[in-house]
Structure 1
Amino acid sequence: MKTAFQLSLHFSLLLLVSCYGGDGYDPLQNALKIQRSRRSALNHANNEAHSAEHSTSPVYIGPQDGLKVDDKISSLPGQPAGTNFDQYSGYVTVDPNHGRALFYYLAESPVNSSTNPLVLWLNGGPGCSSFGNGAMMELGPFRVNADNTTLSHNKYAWNKFANVLFLESPAGVGFSYSNTSSDYTTDDVQTAKDSYTFLINWLERFPEYKTRDFYITGESYAGHYVPQLAQLVLQNNKITNQTVINLKGIAIGNPYVDYEAEKTGMFDYFWTHAIISDQIHEGIISNCNFTEGAPKTDACKDYQYQAYTALSNIFPYDIYTPLCSPFSNSTPSISGFDPCTDSYTQGYLNTPVVQQSLHAKPVQWTSCNDFILFNWKDMPFTVLPVIQDLMASGIRVWIYSGDTDGSVSVTTSRYAINKLQTSVKTQWYPWMYQGEVGGYVVGYENLTFVTVRGAGHFVPSYQPGRALAVFTSFLEGKLPTNH
């Protein structure tokens, strides 16, 4: 325990304190810049190599007896009256030799928890917290109030319809840790392996979920995590004698899945939303080639620099939201989301009594770990082949996009889907929520694409009601209603 604490404390000194929802902070674009600069020097693993490495990996299974009881949360500090569901949190060891353990938080359903499906949620980054961001700011049962010490109910929480499991992955993110510092330099392959090992062990701890319908969801760089983990689950369901995970589908929000689609879509979005000039846009079109292996040119870098300069201090994850200002009372965005929520969450999760109630090791909790981001070893140029495999497997595959996200835009998602070259089954139409257009939907062969009107990158934060409507439609396997 002492060693783990010392290493966790040591590692916390390496962190740059960054908030996923912080003004001007865009971990994904930072990661892509780093990867682009390294790309010529890296030997990138292709999809087949990832699959081969996955399929031969032994899975550690540790003793889980009694740990579920230890993980039950009696009450979170400041939680509101009327909390009527069970909560659990704690660590699952995924590598005992390295002392690597992943932190989770489970919010069970207040009604029908014994029959509702199990849904795993993953935030991206890479290096950002699924608990602090996903649970406390987006789709979890609580939101942190402006006093940093009390919680309020999220009436649009996803655990109303599913038992939702939030996983901090990889080690070094949020409360997850390793006693081996080299583990904090990691990549997509290791992250998928560890997440799968976590699931197998967690299901031993919570055996009542072994036969339950299971879904994997997430956003942003989880556009890599979710499909890769789903592919690994399906592979290992066939080739191991371990627990067969009853995977029914995946849903990824504003996902980064393809580099070329991401960069082209982002700059096209900037132009069509009056952020960059015709001249800058034309300069990018004429001088930039975002395909894999294409040479970088000084002209392309210059025009991209001009585009980011033009963006100025607009929050890239929601181009219409106000910034959090320390000099005035927080001003909700047009969607009603408080832009200072990330700072409230940071304050709450760094309170010792909160960490104790979560059974977490005492650390300096941060929304995102920039050490992990800056030292990410490798990321595939595209995961579209993985998504194609999942589409062919017969599981449910949904992509949803908030349409005010400038970083991983709705345009990016449409360009990526076009590359899949799948046929349309249900033509594009507006879906309705409370008498208004909630967004638009198109049903493809083995794929559904949904937009969420007025939502930024963190769809459940900005449009919680519409996000919940999309989520329930996904669980039911039905397209959102048009009336």
Structure 2
Amino acid sequence: MTFSSSICTSAKFWAWQASFLLLLTNNGASQSIIKNLPGFSGDLPFKLETGYVSVGKFDELQMFYYFIESERSPENDPLLLWITGGPRCSSFYGLVYEIGPISFQFGDLNKDPLTLVTNPYAWTKLANIIFLDAPAGTGFSYSTTLEGYISSDTLHATRAYEFLKRWLVTHPQFLANPLYISGDSFSGKIVPIIVQHITDDIEAGTEPPLNLKGYIIGNPATNTKGDVNSRIEYAHRMALISDRIYESTTRNCKGEYVDVDPNNQLCLNSLQAFQECTGRLDSEHILAPLCPRANDYDELTVLEMNWNWKAGISLPVEDTLKDFPSSLQLCREDRIRYSVVWANDINVRKALNIREGTKGEWAKCNRTTPYTFDIPSSLEYHRNLSKKSLRALVYSGDHDMAIPYISTLAWIESLNLTLEDDWKPWFSDDQVAGYTIYYSNKEYNLTYATIKGGGHTAPEYNPKECFDMFNRWLGHSPI
């Protein structure tokens, strides 16, 4: 596996700088309590810790994290490890746009000062949460060797678990807290692997035993082909394509929309019709405006491009977006700019105690380091975990076409669990907030919930509803 020459030179320089700094400081792990942050007025009303934990055979991976203690009862409330998807997207996204205690006050970034405000629906009101930048090269995490930047699904999960064990060594007061591994999007493949590692170690009697209780995944990538194939049915259910287009597509492609026979012209024609109907929609929230992509990416974009390349279809991205105004207020890309500007401010890096010289430009997602997608499906991990004494919460924003609720519900049904409580609405402020279904298998139970009107990262679009869902589930109450 090779880098381009420019990437290789840059990575070698960062690795050399990081090694030099570690030799000088002789400190492979660190932690700091942060009381103030640029953009936030006054002292932070919650306890924020940032730091690095050394991972790897030679401690070459320096994994950066944000840890926020529960605002309710840190000593009793659960501990969550949060992995943002991508892969290689910073956990800061989950912290500031989804479930963390602060968020940006959006306005005109060109005129107004960048301001942080509190999030009234933060999950940290109920739980202690570690937001981990992983793998190395993501966010503020880095490696002291070039090889340390090479990762894969299995390596990502293994190193995240190693991080967790080492973090708990320096935070033994949280060993007894109920532990949940959590995340959304592509971390739907990573979280079950981490949980499997933990259960294996618990059964082997590895010390210290972690108090694992379960896992939480939102709009989770699970079975790559199944997730993508389900978009046709989803588009039909949401009236994005007609009955005729749906019927011709399913007939001509025979349910296979990923590995399409390039000689099957009827299938290609049907997929072209599908693309014409959906190509100018934001696949991660079909009600959101379509905006130009930022200089960022996540694995869902890669999957979409790969899918359409195999099918011989051209995505209307650059050419068809050039007439869209860049100042659309609801553009996700505009909101992402806030975090890019903030995280690249030298005063912010000083406040967070980022090690000087270890990181170049911060980006929401890292596009430069090698990554191998070696787990095409995490379904077998879920199947194994369904035989353990665990709780699982799986949720889907129902307006996400990137990973439609259809595919998530399909793999859950394939586990052949006992249906305890069938599909019914759940409520927030006496309004229908989505629909839920409850399964069990002896000591294992799984709650599935849709978030009405939610997108790919549901708490970003429906913060109160997702907070209510999380609160009830943590309390072992019906959602």
Normalization by structure 1: what TM-score?
Answer: 0.79
Cα offset, 1:115, TM superposition: 1.8
Indicate which of 414, 418, 422 corresponds to 1:423: 418
User: Judging changes above 3 Å, is the alpha-carbon distance between structure 1 residues 428 and 364 closer, same or farther for their aligned structure 2 residues?
Assistant: same
| CA distance in 1: counterparts of 2:80 and 2:50, whole angstroms | 15
User: Judging changes above 3 Å, is the alpha-carbon distance between structure 1 residues 298 and 169 closer, same or farther for their aligned structure 2 residues?
Assistant: farther
Indicate which of 94, 107, 115 corresponds to 2:68: 107
| CA distance in 2: counterparts of 1:307 and 1:363, whole angstroms | 41
- Taking the TM superposition and a 5 Å limit, the aligned residue runs for 1:160-199 are 160-199=125-164
Answer yes or no: is 1:407 the counterpart of 2:381: no
| CA distance in 2: counterparts of 1:327 and 1:171, whole angstroms | 35
Instruction: Tell me the alpha carbon deviations over residues 373-403 of structure 1, each in whole angstroms, 9 at most, x when there is no partner.
Output: xx43233232112112212102001211111
2:28/2:59 contact within 8 Å kept: no
| Counterpart code for 2:68 | A
Task: Show the counterpart of 1:135.
Answer: 95
SS at 1:393 equivalent:
coil
| Counterpart code for 1:10 | S
SS at 1:363 equivalent:
coil
- Taking the TM superposition and a 5 Å limit, the aligned residue runs for 1:216-295 are 216-239=181-204, 241-288=206-253
2:229/2:257 contact within 8 Å kept: no
Instruction: Tell me the alpha carbon deviations over residues 187-242 of structure 1, each in whole angstroms, 9 at most, x when there is no partner.
Output: 11111110111011100111111111111111111111111100101111232533
1:141/1:159 contact within 8 Å kept: yes
User: Judging changes above 3 Å, is the alpha-carbon distance between structure 1 residues 125 and 362 closer, same or farther for their aligned structure 2 residues?
Assistant: closer
Answer yes or no: is 1:144 the counterpart of 2:104: yes
User: Judging changes above 3 Å, is the alpha-carbon distance between structure 1 residues 353 and 82 closer, same or farther for their aligned structure 2 residues?
Assistant: closer
1:391/1:397 contact within 8 Å kept: no
SS at 1:223 equivalent:
helix
| CA distance in 1: counterparts of 2:258 and 2:181, whole angstroms | 31
Task: Show the counterpart of 2:119.
Answer: 154
SS at 1:79 equivalent:
coil
Instruction: Tell me the alpha carbon deviations over residues 155-175 of structure 1, each in whole angstroms, 9 at most, x when there is no partner.
Output: 111100001111111111111
1:292/1:381 contact within 8 Å kept: no
User: Judging changes above 3 Å, is the alpha-carbon distance between structure 1 residues 82 and 313 closer, same or farther for their aligned structure 2 residues?
Assistant: farther
| CA distance in 2: counterparts of 1:79 and 1:184, whole angstroms | 33
2:284/2:401 contact within 8 Å kept: yes
Task: Show the counterpart of 2:284.
Answer: 317
1:288/1:297 contact within 8 Å kept: no
User: Judging changes above 3 Å, is the alpha-carbon distance between structure 1 residues 290 and 385 closer, same or farther for their aligned structure 2 residues?
Assistant: farther
Answer yes or no: is 1:120 the counterpart of 2:65: no
| Counterpart code for 2:281 | I
User: Judging changes above 3 Å, is the alpha-carbon distance between structure 1 residues 285 and 181 closer, same or farther for their aligned structure 2 residues?
Assistant: farther
2:29/2:52 contact within 8 Å kept: no
| CA distance in 2: counterparts of 1:468 and 1:281, whole angstroms | 36
| CA distance in 1: counterparts of 2:27 and 2:208, whole angstroms | 17
Instruction: Tell me the alpha carbon deviations over residues 314-363 of structure 1, each in whole angstroms, 9 at most, x when there is no partner.
Output: 21111101245895755348xxxx76221111111111111221122442
SS at 2:414 equivalent:
helix
Task: Show the counterpart of 2:55.
Answer: 94
2:394/2:449 contact within 8 Å kept: yes
SS at 1:431 equivalent:
strand
User: Judging changes above 3 Å, is the alpha-carbon distance between structure 1 residues 8 and 473 closer, same or farther for their aligned structure 2 residues?
Assistant: farther
Q: How many residues align?
A: 418
Gaps of at least 5 residues in structure 2 are 1-5, 15-25, 293-323
2:232/2:246 contact within 8 Å kept: yes
Does 154-163 or 417-426 show the bigger shift?
417-426
User: Judging changes above 3 Å, is the alpha-carbon distance between structure 1 residues 82 and 356 closer, same or farther for their aligned structure 2 residues?
Assistant: closer
| CA distance in 2: counterparts of 1:150 and 1:225, whole angstroms | 33
Normalization by structure 2: what TM-score?
Answer: 0.80
Q: Relative contact order: is structure 1 or structure 2 higher (C-alpha 8 Å, sep ≥ 6)?
A: 1
Instruction: Tell me the alpha carbon deviations over residues 62-119 of structure 1, each in whole angstroms, 9 at most, x when there is no partner.
Output: xx99966x42113111123463211011211102636212111011122312221111
1:139/1:156 contact within 8 Å kept: yes
2:152/2:373 contact within 8 Å kept: yes
1:67/1:205 contact within 8 Å kept: no
| CA distance in 2: counterparts of 1:443 and 1:12, whole angstroms | 50
Answer yes or no: is 1:364 the counterpart of 2:325: no
Task: Show the counterpart of 2:329.
Answer: 331
1:7/1:179 contact within 8 Å kept: no
| CA distance in 2: counterparts of 1:172 and 1:66, whole angstroms | 16
| CA distance in 2: counterparts of 1:129 and 1:82, whole angstroms | 24
| Counterpart code for 2:450 | T
2:79/2:129 contact within 8 Å kept: yes
User: Judging changes above 3 Å, is the alpha-carbon distance between structure 1 residues 262 and 67 closer, same or farther for their aligned structure 2 residues?
Assistant: closer
The percent identity for this pair of structures is 30
- Taking the TM superposition and a 5 Å limit, the aligned residue runs for 1:77-88 are 77-81=38-42, 83-88=44-49
| CA distance in 2: counterparts of 1:289 and 1:386, whole angstroms | 28
| CA distance in 1: counterparts of 2:251 and 2:174, whole angstroms | 53
Does 70-79 or 133-142 show the bigger shift?
70-79
| Counterpart code for 1:449 | Y
1:331/1:339 contact within 8 Å kept: no
SS at 1:451 equivalent:
strand
| CA distance in 1: counterparts of 2:424 and 2:366, whole angstroms | 40
SS at 1:420 equivalent:
coil
2:230/2:406 contact within 8 Å kept: yes
Task: Show the counterpart of 2:310.
Answer: none
Cα offset, 1:466, TM superposition: 0.4
| CA distance in 2: counterparts of 1:243 and 1:438, whole angstroms | 40
Between structure 1 and structure 2, the one with the greater Rg is 2
Cα offset, 1:279, TM superposition: 4.8
Cα offset, 1:370, TM superposition: 2.4
Gaps of at least 5 residues in structure 1 are 1-5, 15-63
SS at 2:473 equivalent:
helix
| CA distance in 2: counterparts of 1:290 and 1:371, whole angstroms | 34
